[in-house]
Structure 1
Amino acid sequence: MDQISLAVNGRTDIGQVREENEDSIRWYASADQPFAYIVIADGMGGYTGGATASKIAAETVQFHLEDLLKHTFLSCTPEQQQLILRATLIDAINSANNALLNTKNTNPHFAKMGTTIVVAVMWHDFLIVAHIGDSRAYLWNNFGLQRLTRDHSVVQEMIDSGQISEEQAQQSSVRNHITRALGVSNSVEAEINSWKLTENALLLLCTDGLTEYLDDHAIERVLATHRPALECVYRFIDDANRMGGRDNISAGILEYSSQPAAQILAQEQSATQRPKSPDVTIRKAQR
């Protein structure tokens, strides 16, 4: 089997204008298994409401993912594991939605709160992404940048119907109006898609505090050129703040690299066959 390496990093920032950070981010990479995830939520709902909503959602999803790598999962076939991952994400997001609704019911102060969410999970070379709202996931590799999520927003519907262009959407007065969120209704439907990665890649998850300022071309330029790759999160935050930072900004990067087993074996054989350097004796010079 190929040797897979996963590394993650994340950062959230209050920005230049807001008085509170209503974003939440969680990330993790296992030291023992090729398993990693990123969770990002962008809350809404007034003072403390948005921050509470995103924190509840991110922590609930994180709890479900942390509970995944048990003997039952590890003993399943790859096909079964993929089905379990999908079911776990659905269950996690439904649980987060219920937790938000319960909090709203017991505390009227949070009556208007809700949150977006985007989750990416890697297991070996299998990538699965779930999202609700306008927080996004992107994949970058040698073929360029691919947006993995489609915003649940008013402007995205206007783009799809041909009413406005992507450029016009950036300036629209309703660009922050989302059509789907956690904590709003009893039932919630996340959009879930999966892919099998076939080459080294970078995965970016972010809130609209970043994409408000950086379009897909700017994002691709950073992912393609900024190294170390995991430090792109700091570059993204700095760029968004430099350009105005009107909203909270969150970004998470997952670096996926795969080395073929044959290549690993060849490297090991080369190392064992390499001639040893002759012993060298170092003497102090005689005075």
Structure 2
Amino acid sequence: MEPIRLAVNGRTDVGRVREANEDSIRCHTDPDHPFAYVIVADGMGGYSGGATASKIAADTLQHHLDSQLDSAFFSCTPEQQQAALHTSLANAIHAANREILNAKSAHPQLAQMGTTLVLAVIWHDFLIVAHLGDSRAYLWNHYGLQRLTRDHSVVQEMIDSGQLTPEQAQESNIRNHITRALGVSDHVEPIINSWKLTENALLLLCSDGLTEYLDDRAIEQVLASHRPALDCVCRFVDDANRLGGRDNISAGVLEFTNRAEARAENLPDAITLRPKKEDITVRREQR
């Protein structure tokens, strides 16, 4: 029996104020191999434009990932497969950017459209996360909640420079001004990081329609306590709507279970996140 078990669930909702949903979400688990992904794109540029841009991004990434597991991929070593995933992901993001730019050229009424993007892919115990904009990826474990992405936004730059506290940024009237997105220019710079997962994990990917209302502490509380874990997506959407629902809300959860490691360590709810040298630093203090 394959020791790795992957399960995903996702939900997107128009919210309580917007007339249309400009978010797109895609979730997939392979029936025969330990391969899964979640994609969240938050469109911008008007109702039609935002929805079009996010759909193009999600569809393009989905197409590339669905064709990943071919004979050439299976013939590679595990290290080569990881490198191939990284390259494929980068190529897919650039392809999505081109598709959006081409659509803007063909339809001038969509000239202002673009989209954020965050996606997570797991192959066996290898996790890779890519993002542009302020849609986020989180990982929850017995150490607590770890944010795996840093927003590409004006307020994040102000936080980094000490001009704002995170609490002040949450109330800022420019908190939705992003500095990177798909479909804005020919040159696109996604951030792509990877880790090795050794034990059980919950990953959350979401648009800012969720994080506008739920801070990291509230997100952690839901991931730590709400079961079944995959139903967290419904809880997140319901909570954001209850608190105002001014924006579209999207949430995807990917559940990683390493049966062999959990049995060996007798830690059914624990996971270790081991960053490579080039990866972002993650918090590892035990609670």
TM-score scaled by structure 2? Answer: 0.90
Aligned partner letter, 2:239 = D
User: Alpha-carbon deviation of 1:261?
Assistant: 7.3
Instruction: Give yes or no for the alignment of 1:139 onto 2:139.
Output: yes
Q: How does 1:55-74 map to 2 (within 5 A)?
A: 55-74=55-74
Q: How does 1:68-147 map to 2 (within 5 A)?
A: 68-147=68-147
In 1, distance between residues paired with 2:156 and 2:52?
A: 27
Residue of structure 1 in register with 2:52 after alignment: 52
In 1, distance between residues paired with 2:213 and 2:221?
A: 14
Aligned partner letter, 1:75 = S
Aligned structure 1 segments of 4 or more residues deviating by more than 2 angstroms? 261-264
Structure 2 regions of 5+ residues with no counterpart? 265-287
Instruction: Give yes or no for the alignment of 1:38 onto 2:38.
Output: yes
Structure 2 contact 200–262 (Cα < 8 Å) conserved: no
Residue of structure 1 in register with 2:277 after alignment: none
SS at match of 1:260: helix
User: Alpha-carbon deviation of 1:262?
Assistant: 10
In 2, distance between residues paired with 1:93 and 1:259?
A: 33
SS at match of 2:239: helix
Question: RMSD in angstroms over aligned alpha carbons?
Answer: 1.3
Structure 2 contact 28–37 (Cα < 8 Å) conserved: yes
Aligned partner letter, 2:226 = H
SS at match of 1:121: strand
Residue of structure 1 in register with 2:190 after alignment: 190
Aligned partner letter, 1:38 = V
Which whole-Å deviations, capped at 9, do the CAs of 1:44-101 have from their partners, x for residues lacking one? 0013000000000000000000000011111211100000000011010000000000
Structure 1 regions of 5+ residues with no counterpart? 265-287
Instruction: Give yes or no for the alignment of 1:222 onto 2:225.
Output: no
Aligned length: 264
User: Alpha-carbon deviation of 1:164?
Assistant: 0.6
SS at match of 1:232: helix
Aligned partner letter, 1:121 = V
In 2, distance between residues paired with 1:216 and 1:226?
A: 15
SS at match of 2:203: strand
Residue of structure 2 in register with 1:3 after alignment: 3
Q: Label 1:97 to 1:44 Cα distance change in 2 as closer, same or farther (>3 A).
A: same
In 1, distance between residues paired with 2:2 and 2:66?
A: 25
In 2, distance between residues paired with 1:10 and 1:251?
A: 6
Q: How does 1:151-190 map to 2 (within 5 A)?
A: 151-190=151-190
Q: How does 1:232-251 map to 2 (within 5 A)?
A: 232-251=232-251
Aligned partner letter, 2:222 = V
> Matched residues, percent identical?
70
Q: Label 1:17 to 1:81 Cα distance change in 2 as closer, same or farther (>3 A).
A: same
SS at match of 2:73: helix
Q: Larger C-alpha radius of gyration, 1 or 2?
A: 1
In 2, distance between residues paired with 1:119 and 1:47?
A: 23
Aligned partner letter, 2:188 = V
Aligned partner letter, 1:138 = Y
